[in-house]
Amino acid sequence: MEFPATLFPSSFSTGPPRDEGGPAPAAGWGEYGQVLEAGRGHHQAETRFVPRHGRTGESWEPADVAAVPFLPPNATCWLPLLAPQDILYRSFLHRKLQASISGPAVDFTKQLSHFFVDHPEDAFGSLGCLLHKNFHLGDSGVKREARDNTIRMTALMEEINRLDARRGCPQKYLASRLRWFSHLSRDWLFEVPIGLLADCVHEELLLQWAGLLFDDGPTGGALAWLPAEDTGARTGRLVYPGGQAMNHLYFQDVVLKELPSARGSPAEFELNGRIRQVAAARTNGEDFVGVRSDYHCGIWRVPGRTGAAPTPLQVIRTSMPASCLTVSPHIPGELAVCTQSGSTYLWNIEKGLQRLRHDSQTMFFRDHSPWRWCDFTAHPRVLSCADRTGLQCLDARAPERCQLDLFKVGEEASCQQGERVVLPMYLGRAHPSQHLVTTQFSMYVVDERLPLVPVLKWLHMMKAPPLFAHLTPGDPGRSHKLLLGASRTQEMMLLQYQGGGQLACRLVGPPQKLHTITGCLEHFPTQLPHRHCLLQQRLGIPAAGLAAVLQKHGPRESLLVFQLSEAGDIFCQRLTHEVAQPLARTSGDKPTAAPGSSPLFEDPASSPQHLGSEEEKEEEEEDEQTSYLSNLEVMINEEEDGGRPAFLEEAELTQEPCASPQPSPVVLSEAVALRYRRWLKALSKRCGEPPWPSCPTTCGQKRLFTREELQTQAGPSILHQQARQRMHQAMREGGRIQCWDLLDSQSSAILKPPEPVEGPDSLSARLTAAWSGDWSQWWEERTSFYRTQRQRALRERRRRQKRARGRRSLSASFTSSLTYQSELSELSDTGLPPLSPTPPQEGFPPRGSPPPSPVPDEALLSSQSLRIRGIPKERRKTLRDYLGVWTESPLEPPELPSSQVSQLCIPSSQSQLSSASQTRRKRPRMGF
């Protein structure tokens, strides 16, 4: 073990950190740190210098534009994440409290009131039982004989009910009766004394809040890669948690190809709690996998050869949650465990547990966090113990006597104020005596042989503290690759460093950001808005671990990085070493639409290439149409998925044009696109549809008909088929359907912005006119228009009075973009083609009659046809009115007072429910 002959210069002082600051946005850039002469011979004229923070390193380029799903989505019953507004005061009280109290104002009264309402039995059960004879709640008076031990509570109840109504009233005050009652009953009414309960709830909420700010549970990460025994084999095993509560442990064999794929089904173990951390190390040719959940830690042995089954060895239970589990890289079956009570144990599967330290206080200065960490060092009997204030080495043979301060948050490492240790890691595979220490601001490399002075320090500029790290050691002369990963923001950073042996440790090359799971969103096929939102939430779940594999095939090297989310989804991405790459891309400044490195594109027969070149051509033309075209995304009925026409796949390959200033290569490789689609399909299948938590609850008019009532018995109609055919054709041609008029289909290709329905409101018409510059003309028209309009309005009113019935209001909903979805779902089920935002008058050709007429087919409205469809007599009239609305004058809707329109626009929740309970279909949708 060589030690560098000269180290980089640095000054050393002791004491608390002096450097005030905090997260500075660009602090990691632009510094060489220090320089050192590199290999100067005595007779050499030129002295060469190397910097501590080098600018040139190996270049690792991402092979794809985004991370790719590796496994199908985890079937998790996923709850939306806790948001700050769930537990904080949000009212005027909040402002008041904020002024007086520093720190979060936790809304525990809301939680308490929920508890009282939802679980009255638990809250007031026994007293309720005792008193229910003595409390009279009826309207009648209390009978004379019972009056001795019964009181009438009706007035009190009324008072309580009135409280609700008075909410929001500035002058609200509690009625004296209520105050009297609460004062009287406060001490005895509650099952659990209210003060105690409130304390506990408050405490819990504060904990939740702390967890929301920073959750150290997943520290270390719950993803591990076990390489195959012979390094040449392109296989390995991925260990990850999954299942509904993330309590299943999976060992999945993986074949590494261009894209990694799972082989066979994984070995599965069901555990007794949510898996927080998976740690693995290889000793004597066998992998040992440690698994940490809150109160249990377990160890598995996995033989090195592929296909051998993992065997569980031992489990320990802790009374306090464990915060750390690391596996010894030196001695088989040895682990280190820390609990939040401040205890550190060495755990050997043969010899059991040995407590090395128990100290509820932190090491170097006082910090409230109970988090502890422990890892191995170059000496198999010496462990490094960490808390938020620093690291200490202690010898397991004499833990009380042999201690050594390895890293201290303080002036020694020139830390900033408020800096805390987030994750220590033993870097033994790069150099036996190196350790990584990350804080929320910086990353340090510490050498055991030079304690307290970090041999490398770099401000990582990550938005969230790095909780995960992975080391890929480099061959001699090459750099070690260090991946840092954050949980909440899913950030991943690739760093390279060298040295530790002969040469001093130094950073080589600029840091590099890797793709995140969230970044995949734009590469998924476009979704309906609520699904898009849900997908966004799903992809945005904090990360829970990372792992990486270095693959060497000939001169090419690639680094495969896996990222696990807290929902149990695993995504992967590949970085390739530039030098070895045959087609070296200039580092991404000008993204080309040309296909990337995927071998699929080399096949001349494959379509995306063609599509890509076409797109380029169109781009040259600078036709507005192109942007529409590349936006064209099609959602297809799921049942159709099997025999999906090829052009649809093509259509999905085009990506939306760069809306953000982020330049990303435009085309995904087909294999990748396929993975996205499969993943999405599996997601909607597995995770079920109805309990969309984010679905906005809407209310409105009651639905008129059920779907069955309007459905024809005879399958999809001719019209339906025609519409579908036309749409396919349009997509094949890359055009669009301007209106559903079948005759007109060939005429115009360019979609103008939807004309406002004639005179929806005068203001917008006027503004439009003013915009285009002929405002005066508008005024002329307007004055003449008013005359005719008044006449027409009079006529209209008379006609309406004649009819004087029916709810015509639905027509209004067509003018609303808010509601077209749900309306659409019902309408298209009737066999009518979907709406485009063009006026409904044009948009709806009647069923079964190819030459369209502006009036709905009489046949549809005839009472006979309605009877055939099984629509009850009393509803037929309404239906006729309902459908008749379409034929009415376009001037009609604007006459409704605007407030009424908006009220009526909202579709009924019932209708939504009904469409949701049907087999939900993705419908063709265009132009949005």
Partner 1 sequence: SSHEHKLNFGKSKEMCLNFIQDAMLQKQWNRAAEFLTFYAEALEKDFSRDYMGPSEIIWRIGTEILCHHSHSGMKEFNSFIEQMKTFGVKRYLKVCLEHSFHLLCNGLVDEAYQNLSLAESWRFGEHTAIRDKEIKLIQAYKGLLDYYSWSKQKNILLEHDEDEFEDLSVEQEMHSYFRKAAVNLKEIIKIPGVWDIFVKCYVDLLEFYGDDEEARQVLSEYAYNSKFPANPNAHVYFYQFLKRHGESKKSLISALKILHDLVPSHELMINFNTMLQKSKKRKNRRLGLQVIFAVLDYAGWKENVKAWSCLARQVKQIVISDKHPDWIEQEWDSRKDWWPAFHFSHYLAKKNWQENKSLSYEKALVAGIILGKDCKYFRYVSHQGCKAQAKKFRILKKFVNKHIPVHLRISG
**Interacting residue with partner 1 among 437, 461, 517, 860 (CB under 8 A):** 461
Per-residue tokens: 148: 């001795």
Closest CA to 341 of 312, 314, 319: 319
Determine the Cα–Cα distance for residues 745 and 752; give it in Å rounded to an integer: 15
Please identify, among the stretches 22-30, 127-135, 226-234, 673-681, the one whose residues bind partner 1 according to the rule CB under 8 A.
Answer: 22-30
Neighbours of 900 (CB within 10 A): 11
Q: Which is nearer to partner 1, 403 or 706 (CB)?
A: 403
User: Is 102 a residue that touches partner 1 (CB under 8 A)?
Assistant: no
Please identify, among the stretches 32-40, 246-254, 682-690, 709-717, the one whose residues bind partner 1 according to the rule CB under 8 A.
Answer: 32-40
Determine the Cα–Cα distance for residues 832 and 719; give it in Å rounded to an integer: 7
**Interacting residue with partner 1 among 337, 471, 493, 559 (CB under 8 A):** 493
Q: How far is the CB of 368 from partner 1 (least distance, A)?
A: 25
Q: How far is the CB of 506 from partner 1 (least distance, A)?
A: 12
Strand partners, 51: 35
Per DSSP, the three-state class of 916 is: helix
Determine the Cα–Cα distance for residues 349 and 332; give it in Å rounded to an integer: 9
Determine the Cα–Cα distance for residues 137 and 141; give it in Å rounded to an integer: 10
| Residue list 56-85, contact with partner 1 (CB under 8 A) | 59
Strand partners, 279: 290
**Interacting residue with partner 1 among 15, 20, 149, 183 (CB under 8 A):** 20
Q: How far is the CB of 588 from partner 1 (least distance, A)?
A: 5
Q: How far is the CB of 9 from partner 1 (least distance, A)?
A: 5
Q: Which is nearer to partner 1, 54 or 242 (CB)?
A: 54
- Where helices occur in 71-175 by DSSP H, the ranges are 84-87, 92-100, 108-118, 120-131, 154-166
User: Under rule CB under 8 A, how many of the chain's residues touch partner 1?
Assistant: 74
- C-alpha distances in angstroms, 35 versus 8, 436, 453, 507, 637? 7, 22, 17, 12, 63
| Residue list 572-591, contact with partner 1 (CB under 8 A) | 587-589
User: Is 90 a residue that touches partner 1 (CB under 8 A)?
Assistant: no
- C-alpha distances in angstroms, 273 versus 294, 520, 582? 7, 30, 48
User: Is 449 a residue that touches partner 1 (CB under 8 A)?
Assistant: yes
Determine the Cα–Cα distance for residues 380 and 72; give it in Å rounded to an integer: 40
Q: How far is the CB of 75 from partner 1 (least distance, A)?
A: 34
Q: How far is the CB of 291 from partner 1 (least distance, A)?
A: 22
Which amino acid, residue 865? S
| Residue list 866-925, contact with partner 1 (CB under 8 A) | none
What is the end-to-end Cα distance of the chain in Å, rounded? 64
Q: How far is the CB of 136 from partner 1 (least distance, A)?
A: 60
**E strand map for 473-521:** 480-486, 492-498, 506-507, 512-513
Closest CA to 217 of 544, 609, 642: 544
Alpha-carbon Rg for the chain in angstroms: 35
User: Is 266 a residue that touches partner 1 (CB under 8 A)?
Assistant: no
User: Is 42 a residue that touches partner 1 (CB under 8 A)?
Assistant: yes
| Residue list 464-483, contact with partner 1 (CB under 8 A) | none
**Interacting residue with partner 1 among 69, 428, 485, 893 (CB under 8 A):** 428
Q: How far is the CB of 250 from partner 1 (least distance, A)?
A: 27
User: Is 188 a residue that touches partner 1 (CB under 8 A)?
Assistant: no
User: Is 537 a residue that touches partner 1 (CB under 8 A)?
Assistant: no
**Interacting residue with partner 1 among 179, 397, 556, 702 (CB under 8 A):** 397
User: Is 36 a residue that touches partner 1 (CB under 8 A)?
Assistant: yes
- Token pair 């988090």 is found at 371
DSSP structure string for 229-296 = SSTTSSEEEEEEEESTTS-EEEEEEEE-SSS-EEEEEEEEEE-SS-EEEEEEEEETTEEEEEEEESSE
Q: Which is nearer to partner 1, 62 or 73 (CB)?
A: 62
Q: How far is the CB of 616 from partner 1 (least distance, A)?
A: 21
Q: Which is nearer to partner 1, 285 or 529 (CB)?
A: 285
Please identify, among the stretches 51-59, 522-530, 777-785, 795-803, the one whose residues bind partner 1 according to the rule CB under 8 A.
Answer: 51-59
**E strand map for 556-649:** 556-565, 570-577
| Residue list 327-386, contact with partner 1 (CB under 8 A) | 329-332, 351, 378-381
Q: Which is nearer to partner 1, 236 or 332 (CB)?
A: 332
User: Is 390 a residue that touches partner 1 (CB under 8 A)?
Assistant: no
| Residue list 189-248, contact with partner 1 (CB under 8 A) | none
Per-residue tokens: 250: 């999976």
User: Is 436 a residue that touches partner 1 (CB under 8 A)?
Assistant: no
Closest CA to 520 of 49, 67, 32: 67
User: Is 662 a residue that touches partner 1 (CB under 8 A)?
Assistant: yes
Strand partners, 786: none
| Residue list 295-334, contact with partner 1 (CB under 8 A) | 329-332
Determine the Cα–Cα distance for residues 492 and 211; give it in Å rounded to an integer: 21
Q: Which is nearer to partner 1, 2 or 164 (CB)?
A: 2
Q: Which is nearer to partner 1, 332 or 846 (CB)?
A: 332
Q: How far is the CB of 540 from partner 1 (least distance, A)?
A: 17
User: Is 32 a residue that touches partner 1 (CB under 8 A)?
Assistant: yes
User: Is 513 a residue that touches partner 1 (CB under 8 A)?
Assistant: yes
